[in-house]
Every structure is written in C-alpha cells, then in structure tokens.
Amino acid sequence: MKHSYLLASLALLALPAVAQNPALNARIAQLAQAEETKVIAWRRDFHQHPELGNEEKRTAGIVAAHLKKLGLEVQTGIGRTGVVGILKGGKPGPVVALRADMDALPVTEATGLAFASTVKTTYLGQPVGVMHACGHDSHVAMLMGAAEVLSQVKKELSGTVKFIFQPAEEGSLPGVVGGAKLMIQEGVLDNPKVDAIFGLHINAQTEAGSLSYRPGGEMASADRFTIKVIGKGAHGARPWNSVDPVVTAAQIIMGLQTIVSRQVNLTDDAAVVTVGTLKAGVRYNVIPDQVELTGTIRAFDKKTQEQIWAAVRRTAKGIAESAGATVEVGFEAYVPVTYNDPPLAARMLPTLQAVAGGATNVREVKVNTWAEDFALYQEKVPGLFVFVGGMRKGVDPATTADHHTPGFTLDESGFTLGVKTLATLAADYLAAPK
Ligand code: NI
C-alpha cells in the first residue's frame, strides 16, 4: 500500500508520465513468474552447451524454433548466427527492440555445477574450455521467456516488438566483423524500423531482485591499440650495437601510465589505459629487432577518447625517437560509450521501479569501465541498458567470482525480474512512446 502510494506520487510529481496499463502489467508479471522454471531450464541447457562468438549455431537453432512455435515471424542467419523474431501487436504503434547476446567465452569452467560446461576448443592456437562466464546464457533464456510472455498478450500491444538474439558480443577474432556491428550492417534495425531498443545484463555482483542503470554514459568506449617498436637487433652481450626495442617498449609502457594519471581530467570522468600483451624476442641473449605491445583504452566521452589516442601516439613516438627507434601505432575502435538516452531513461524509470517492486530496488550506479556492443545500437536509436541482479541476497560482492572468470556463477532466482523487465519495458514503451 505504502509502496504504490509512493510510486504514484513519484510518477506524478517528479517523472514524465508513462501510460502504464496496470491490468496489462499485472498480467505480464504473472506470466513472467509462470516462465521461471522454463527460463532456468533453458539457461542450464545453454550453460552446458556454450558456443563461442559467431559459432552460436545450436543456441540460435533453439531460439529460432522457440520463436516459430510462438507464432513470430523469424529471420535467421543475420550477422552469421543471429536470430530475429517479430511480434506484431493487436493495435498499431511504434517498433521496440529487445536484445540478448548469445556468445560464450574461451574460459575453462571451474564452478563444479551439475550443469557445468565440459566443452573444449582451441582459441587463437591455445587449448581452452568454453564457458558462459558472462551470463549471456541467462540473457538468451530471459529474452525467450519475455517473447513467450509478450506473445500471450499480443492483442493488447500497441505496436511491434522485435526480438534480437545477437552473436559475438564479446568480439570476433581479429580482423573479423561481427556482433551488433554486423547485425546493424545487415539491417536489423530496419524493416520494420526500430524506434527504441532495450537490453539488459545480468550482474553477478548485485543482489537478485534489484535493477541498476545510469542515464547518459553507463559503460565505457573500448578501443584496442597496437604499438610496434622497431629497433635494431644485436648479440645480447653487445647491446651498444643495437637499438634495443625491449628497453624502449618498457619505457613506452611506463610513459603510457602518465596519460590517465597526469593528462586526463579525472574530475570529468574515469579513463583507463592498459597494456595487455607484450611480445618480444625468442632467446635470452639475443636483442630482437622489434617488439609489439597491445592494450585497451576505456573512456566515457568522445573528447577524452580522442585525447587519449593522441597521447598514446605522441608518447610512443617521442620515447622511440629518443632511443633512435621507430614506432607504428594503430588503433581499432571496438565499441563506443554505452549511452542511455536521458529522456528515454527518465521516461522508463517508473517502469523499472514498478517491475522491481519499488524505487529502493532500482539503483542509479556509477560508470562502469566494462564495454558493451549494445552501444552500437544506441548510436542509431535511443536505447536503455539495464543491469539485473544475479547474486544471492546477503552475499558480500567481494567474495563472488567476477564475470569472465572460471568460478562465475549466478543466482537463478534473479531471472524472473529480467523477464518481467524486458516484457514490461516493451509494453510500456509501446503504450506511450513519446
Ligand atoms: Ni557480457
């Protein structure tokens, strides 16, 4: 009683009105609850049969069969293994898209779960396991659940829902275009043209039953950089005959540390420059001709991103020059900032608060230096990306295994809120798009 009074006052006083349809929303909540067993079973099946990016054939097959069974118009093979389902509502209206990513990671699972993955592969020449170590298995299952829920209330929907099951969110092999980028290139946001897009990510460090989000910049842009230091090799015993690229690369790595700490205005937003690989030499007493290092840059606005690119280039060049070496510096922009359209986020906040059972279960969070290729859709249409709690209540997040690690686990009791969130965001947006 108190909750609904509070929510109603918030909606009236502080927030743009969303023409929520209480009867429809209650029905969606009920249907989402009824999906729980199925969603958990789907998730466990995907978890046990993980597939790397661009190889999600089994997953896509299950998704496509499910959507067809629900009577949706289904397209397959978009962006290689992507699946799109189109649900036409009973009344005319806009088009809203809901997106889930389907790919697993080259990580060897060590959870000890009954449905743990034992799948093995070779990734970039190295033998490794395959694991849903980021929770994308749950995203697929939750969106399948939301599709089933919305298809049961389609007569009451004012517009169209497009379900996007996307491959390769974690990135494709070097030089290969995939994920959201390829799906967009192949027209996933057209025919019918999408007006707004919603997506979610399970979070193993926030409590099941909670939602979190941030209006504006939510997750970082991610760029890859490569610096090739070209010197002159020599016998390790006679370094004076070399232009030593190992020492020069070491100086460059240290120089890069001053970009964020000394040159970026940290009172604006966070930024990161990390060197992740360093390839140098083949033998302990031979100075090689060249060294290659690669790393990642994270930023929260275009200006900082460009500033860091320029600083990386300048630092690498200047240090190499002082050593008599040369450098080749390359950048690959992977994804832009995950940017939640502020008016859309404000408009949908009452929906998030309603599905989560009150404003206290919806937190506005700090920026997150992860990146997400959902950002590419948001460059084209207004979008909102929400985190759904996937950690058991009362657990200290510091004691849980992080995403992308072998011990990553989820509290499956959080999935129903994910289903409800996706389905209700779509229904509410269609009811009041502007
Ligand atoms: Ni992920």
Over residues 87-117, the pLDDT tens digits come to: 999 999 999 999 999 999 999 999 999 999 9
CA of 101 to the centre of ligand 1 (A): 8
CA of 170 to the centre of ligand 1 (A): 7
Single-letter amino acid code for the residue at 57: K
d(CA 48, CA 53) in angstroms, rounded, equals: 16
| Span 311-337, pLDDT tens digits | 999 999 999 999 999 999 999 998 999
pLDDT of residue 18: 54
C-alpha neighbours within 13 Å on the C-beta side of residue 388: 30
d(CA 208, CA 97) in angstroms, rounded, equals: 24
CA 197, 198, 201, 203 torsion-angle sign:
positive
What does residue 169 show for φ and ψ, rounded to 5 degrees?
-65, -35
What tokens appear for 107 in the block?
A: 């990580």
d(CA 288, CA 293) in angstroms, rounded, equals: 14
Q: Does residue 252 register a pLDDT over 50?
A: yes
CA of 291 to the centre of ligand 1 (A): 32
Q: Does residue 13 register a pLDDT over 60?
A: no
What does residue 12 show for φ and ψ, rounded to 5 degrees?
-75, -40
Q: Does residue 193 register a pLDDT over 70?
A: yes
CB of 195 within 8 A of CB of 93? no
Q: Does residue 5 register a pLDDT over 60?
A: no
- Give the domains, in start order, of the chain with CATH numbers: 2-220+337-430 (3.40.630.10), 221-334 (3.30.70.360)
CA of 362 to the centre of ligand 1 (A): 20
CB of 236 within 8 A of CB of 288? no
Q: Going by DSSP bridges, is the β-strand pair 196-207/383-391 parallel, antiparallel, or unpaired?
A: parallel
> What proportion of the chain, given as a percentage, has pLDDT over 90?
91
Strand order in the sheet with 326-335: 272-280, 290-299, 221-230, 326-335
Helix (H, G, I), strand (E, B) or coil at 128: strand
Helix (H, G, I), strand (E, B) or coil at 360: helix
CA of 61 to the centre of ligand 1 (A): 21
CB of 107 within 8 A of CB of 131? yes
Give helix 415-431 / helix 342-355 axis angle, nearest 10°: 130
pLDDT of residue 174: 79
pLDDT of residue 249: 98
CA of 427 to the centre of ligand 1 (A): 25
d(CA 271, CA 295) in angstroms, rounded, equals: 13
CA of 136 to the centre of ligand 1 (A): 6
CA of 216 to the centre of ligand 1 (A): 19
Distance set, CA 357 to CA 3, 24, 42, 169, 209 (Å)? 8, 16, 25, 30, 9
d(CA 176, CA 124) in angstroms, rounded, equals: 13
CA of 43 to the centre of ligand 1 (A): 15
Q: Does residue 17 register a pLDDT over 50?
A: no
d(CA 204, CA 191) in angstroms, rounded, equals: 36
What tokens appear for 106 in the block?
A: 């080259």
pTM over 0.85: yes
d(CA 274, CA 315) in angstroms, rounded, equals: 14
| Span 227-245, pLDDT tens digits | 999 999 999 999 999 999 9
Q: Does residue 12 register a pLDDT over 70?
A: no
Q: Which residues of 160-187 are buried (b: 16+ CB within 10 A; e: fewer)?
A: bbbbbbbbbbbbbeeeeebbbbbbbebe
CA of 248 to the centre of ligand 1 (A): 36
Nearest to 219 by CA among 194, 204, 200, 205: 200
| Span 146-190, pLDDT tens digits | 999 999 999 999 999 999 999 999 988 878 999 999 999 999 999
CA of 135 to the centre of ligand 1 (A): 6
